[in-house]
Structure 1
Amino acid sequence: MTRNSRPRPNQHPPIDARVCISFETAAQAKAAAKALIPDNVNMPAGLTVDISSRGRRVWVHVGGHGVKTATIANTLDEILEHISIARKVISADA
């Protein structure tokens, strides 16, 4: 690591978190991902969230550059909680 690549004391290093959640059907995965789209607004500067479905899986990518680790962890926790709720609603409809 070079001297210039180290984070400054008040800077936060880049963080990249990816999670994959499997559903019983592709339609359920698509519905869960679609239900989360409204949550991707008014995020702190430097925070990125990407949620997509491919087949029976929902892929969640949360990243941050210059963002506190706790902010990224809390964002991911909130998304996973919403996916858990979506899963319960979807399975209740089946």
Structure 2
Amino acid sequence: MTKNSRRPEVEIAVEVTFPSASQARAAVKALIPDNVNLPEGLTLSMFFRGKTVHVAIGSRLSMMATAASTLDEILEHISVSRQVMAQG
């Protein structure tokens, strides 16, 4: 990303399918509060459509490790939420 550009240099998109739309919605609602006040240069979009949770992370090339760590954390939380919902 150049100094004059807001467009990320690195974009990562992941889709995770849940057994139901209500579970996908619950997972997104649970994750949103954890993903505010991101560092400058890091963008995050998370939403659900039907049974699928969509996560997109963008960053500067210099923040690629931070973007990867953020995605790893989000996927871990999604995994835990799936396990909890499966038990309930």
Q: CA RMSD in A?
A: 1.8
Deviation by residue 1:51-82 (Cα, 9 ceiling, x = unmatched): 10000100000111354211110000000000
Letter paired with 2:32: I
8 Å Cα contact 1:46-1:66 kept in structure 2: no
| Fraction of identical pairs, as percent | 49
Moved over 3 A (4+): none
Instruction: Give 5+ residue unaligned stretches, structure 1.
Output: 8-12
On the 8 A contact 2:18/2:52 being kept in 1, the answer is yes
What TM-score do you get using the length of structure 1 for normalisation? 0.81
Query: Contact conserved, 1:47 with 1:67, CA < 8 A, in 2?
Result: no
Note if contact 1:14-1:63 (Cα within 8 Å) is conserved in structure 2. yes
Question: What is aligned with 2:41?
Answer: 46
Consecutive unaligned residues in structure 2, runs of 5 or more: 3-7
Select the residue among 64, 86, 91 that pairs with 2:81: 86
Instruction: Please tell me whether Structure 1 or Structure 2 has the larger radius of gyration of its CA atoms.
Output: 1
The TM-score with structure 2 as length reference comes to: 0.86
